[in-house]
Structure 1
Amino acid sequence: MKKFNRFLAVSLFALLLLVLGACGNNNDAADKTTDNKDNQTEQAADTKEKAETKDLILATTTSTQDTGLLDELIIPMFEEQNPNINVKTIAVGTGQALEMGTKGEADVLLVHAPASEEEIVASGDAINRQLVMHNDFIIVGPKDDPAGIKGLAISEAFAKIMSENAVFVSRGDDSGTHKKELEVWKKANLTPTDNASYLQTGQGMGATLQIANEKSGYTLTDRGTWLAQEKNLTNLQISVEGDEELKNIYHVMQVNPEKHDKVYAEGAEKFVDFMINNDTQKAIGEFGKDKYGQALFFPDAK
């Protein structure tokens, strides 16, 4: 009888262990199932977020990039506020940027050639044009000032450069700066190519300043790019500044989705609103002060 009781006790204990083990396995399986579901949910959320991220194509002038305004301030701020929008910047001359708008190859434009901007709005290729900021154009040239233009009015300075056959380095790229330069030559009744020392780079402002520095030539530049590049332009100085004609005005605008159905209209509208809101305008007005002792741009949005 004792042997039978001992056998019964051992059998019951073994059965208990088996039951407990089965329960443990079921719990582990349940936990694994829950973990798998959680992982699948997280992966689905990540996939959804990535799927919802859209590219916003910004066509703009090189000066906004050469100064660091876009890469250091505007794009980080905008993308932080709009995490599902990825800004793809195409920095070219304003003429090229506007042409991208007329072809529907960009979503939003940030440019500085008011007369040409008005044309693209009138054609219906762009809408929601808003004033953003300004700085000014200046003439920089060799420190020994071979043409003797320092302190002259802009038209007088251009005429002196022409009469002295001094080296003048033009962007020659249909940018806003190039358009302004041609406007000044025209108002002074001068043809710049009559000067054998007139050079056209076909490049952005930063590269054109470098060439002017190497060639000991004069060039027209926006002040912001000059300040950002000045430390590397050891042969140049500001020769002409402060002329009312040299104001440099920037606008932002959407490419019209009703005329170009592939544009990212929602993102473009958000970018325009962002550029003219109070926080962005304040940040633009402070940009550059810590590094250059003065702002590179002055906010203008109402």
Structure 2
Amino acid sequence: MFRKPIRAAAVALGLLTSAVSAEEPFIVVQSTTSTQNSGLLEYILPWFEADSGIDVRVVAVGTGQAIRNAINGDGDVLLVHSKPAEEKFVADGWGVERKDLMYNDFVLVGPKSDPAGIRGGADVLAALSKIAEVEAPFASRGDDSGTHKAELGYWSAAGLDPAEASGAWYRETGSGMGATLNVASGMDAYTLTDRATWLSFGNRGNLEVLVEGDPRLFNQYGVILVSPDKHAHVRAAAGQRFIDWLTGPDGQEAIASFRLDGQQVFFPNAD
């Protein structure tokens, strides 16, 4: 005869628990894949969440897609790495303010056989010119990500249009960095990658770093609060608290302490 009261109490407790869970503060961060795939966010987010009580939910996609998602209102904070696109995002009113967060670099990787003879070089434009000259296989992300945007910029600066060779020696994967590295590994192709994803990549096969150190390979990351004027549902206070933490002493120290294979791969440089 006690079943109904017990069941009613259980239902009430379940509804209360659901209500409390629904009220737990959280933000959605539209982030580039390298911060997620490298393990950086998994490493630093628990510190912020413990300090703030705010849960951070990450959507990791290419920079171009992350920006489009933010424009559509599917996020509170944008964390990507294509400064011109980020500045346009803010100039068009979709973001409140862009802040430098950290940097690392890109590297040009390729097969140990190195058919283009670029090993040991420090000029990315000269290396790409040699790859095009011998028509060595090159795997491009082709996904409008920050890395893809940078790669296209290097081809253009070298006076080359790889689209003319699309489907021949120049292959566009339309995928993230990890998948593109897998393609490059499988076909012994050259590709451009951010160093953090390269260090965390486990299926290198015959691939190795062949070109690095060119100042043009500098890779800056920025962080932006999505404008609540454009999307009223943006959790502006919680999002700004996350940005302030990332760009403040605690967040910058957390970023600097992250290591892959004993190497620091993200260097904080918030103003």
Regarding TM over 0.5, the answer is yes
Map Cα deviations across residues 189-213 of structure 1 (whole Å, 9 max, x no partner): 1011233211111111111111111
Once the two structures are TM-superposed, the CA of residue 271 in structure 1 deviates from its matched residue by 1.2
Q: Give the one of 53, 56, 60 matched to 1:91.
A: 60
Equivalent of residue 105 in structure 1, options 64, 74, 88: 74
Q: CA deviation at 1:188?
A: 1.0
Secondary structure in 1 aligned to 2:159? coil
Q: Which of 1 and 2 has higher RCO (CA within 8 Å, sep 6+)?
A: 2
Is the aligned partner of 1:203 residue 2:175?
yes
| Residue 171 (1) aligns with residue 141 (2) | yes
Quote the residue 1:138 is aligned against: 107
Equivalent in 117, 122, 128 of residue 86 of structure 2: 117
Distance 1:98 1:47 in 2: 32
Q: Give the one of 182, 190, 213 matched to 2:152.
A: 182
Match of 2:52 among 63, 82, 86: 82
Q: Does 1:284 align with 2:255?
A: yes
Distance 2:189 2:15 in 1: 59
SS of residue in 1 equivalent to 2:57: strand
Say whether residues 1:220 and 2:192 are aligned partners: yes
Q: 1:52 matched to which residue of 2?
A: 23
- When structure 1 is superposed on structure 2, of 266-275 and 214-223 the one drifting more is 266-275
Picking from 35, 41, 54, the partner of 1:70 is: 41
Q: CA deviation at 1:175?
A: 0.2
Q: Which of 99-108 and 179-188 deviates more? A: 99-108
Residues 219-248 of structure 1, C-alpha deviation per residue, up to 9 Å, x if partnerless? 00000111111x420210101000000000
Corresponding position of 1:22: none
The answer to whether 1:268 aligns with 2:247 is: no
1:232 partner SS = coil
Aligned-residue offset at 1:101: 1.7
> Structure 1 residues 166 and 128, CA, compared in 2 at 3 Å: closer, same or farther?
same
Q: CA deviation at 1:179?
A: 0.1
Shift of the alpha carbon at 1:43? 9.1
Q: How many angstroms does 1:49 deviate by?
A: 4.1
Deviation at 1:293, TM superposition (A): 1.9
**1:160 corresponds to which letter in structure 2?**
K
Q: Please say which structure displays the higher CA radius of gyration.
A: 1
**Out of 210, 229, 247, which is 1:258 matched to?**
229
Equivalence for 1:300? 269
After the TM superposition, which parts of structure 1 deviate over 6 Å for at least 4 consecutive aligned residues? 42-45
Paired residues in the alignment total: 257
Q: Distance in 2 between matches of 1:77 and 1:108?
A: 18
- From 238, 252, 268, the equivalent of 2:209 is 238
| 2:4 alignment counterpart | none
**Is residue 2:126 matched to residue 1:148?**
no
Partners of 1:130 and 1:198 lie apart in 2 by: 35
SS of 2:98's equivalent in the other structure is strand
AA at the equivalent of 2:195: R
Between 195-204 and 49-58, report the one with greater CA deviation.
49-58
Instruction: After TM superposition, give the deviation of residue 99 of structure 1 in Å.
Output: 1.1
Within 1, Cα distance between the matches of 2:98 and 2:150? 20
CA distance in 2, matches of 1:193, 1:87: 38
Judged with a 3 Å threshold, the aligned counterparts in structure 2 of structure 1 residues 99 and 141 are, in CA distance, closer, same or farther, namely same
Give the secondary-structure state (helix, strand or coil) at the position aligned to 1:150: coil
Q: Greater shift after overlay, 51-60 or 219-228?
A: 51-60
- The percent identity for this pair of structures is 47
* Structure that is richer in helix per residue: 1
The 10-residue stretch of structure 1 (106-115 or 145-154) with the greater mean CA deviation from structure 2: 145-154
* Distance in 1, Cα, partners of 2:63 & 2:124: 22
- Listed one character per residue, the Cα deviations across residues 135-185 of structure 1 (whole Å, up to 9, x for unaligned) are 000100001111111133111001111010100000000000000000011
